[in-house]
Amino acid sequence: MKHISLLALIVIFLSSSLWAQQFRGGLKLGVTTTQVAGDTYAGFNKAGINGGAFVNLGLGHQLAAQLELAYFMKGSRYNDQPDLPDFKQYLLRLNYIEMPVLLQYELSGFVFEAGVSFDFLLSRFEEKDYLQVSQNDWRKMTLNSVFGMMYSMSEKWMLSFRTVNSITSVRKNAVPGNVKRYGSKFGEFNDALLLSVYYIL
């Protein structure tokens, strides 16, 4: 909670004191579809929401930097299928406070962006075959890569599509079925697709 409070203070400070330097900011709200690579349940089957605030600074020559603070629902879902002989059900809810740090490039009404985001775990719920799983080996903070594209619909509204993928494993311990990513260690990694609207204040 100390980390989250510090991040909130940083965003509030930036959004209140930097207006004099031509900063702009606003609100964002979107829907997400997510999966966890390495949990053996493939597919972007877990729906959720993503919403928060952002501040943006133009750097000249069509470049800008953007900082966001948002609530982000991630996880994994696999519904049991009665037609299949191997009964399986799985549900994982991971709720985060997310802080993306992005570099943006504007071209012909489109904004292309790339950067990293830091996720701070607020809560989690895991269920397998309708029985709650009690293990508590989830990382409190994870690092992600962020790539996206935004389209300016008007002076105040923008539409965004973004992909967010874990660089570090969301679990501390490796289990059977895990995969490798960005290194030699096995783990489980959040993958998310986001469709969002941004409102510029």
Nearest CA to 119 out of 180, 187, 189, 177 is that of: 189
Instruction: Give the chain's domains with CATH numbers.
Output: 2-200 (2.40.160.20)
Contact yes or no for 67/101 (Cβ under 8 A): yes
Residue 22 above 80 pLDDT? no
- List pLDDT tens digits, range 113-152: 999 999 999 999 999 988 999 878 899 999 999 999 999 9
Mean of pLDDT over the chain: 89
C-alpha to C-alpha distance for 106 and 56, rounded to whole angstroms: 13
Residue 13 binned pLDDT confidence (cut-offs 50, 70, 90): low
pLDDT the model gives residue 159: 97
pTM summary value: 0.85
- pLDDT score recorded for residue 32: 98
Q: Of residues 173 and 64, which shows the higher confidence score?
A: 64
> Is the pLDDT confidence value at 80 over 90?
no
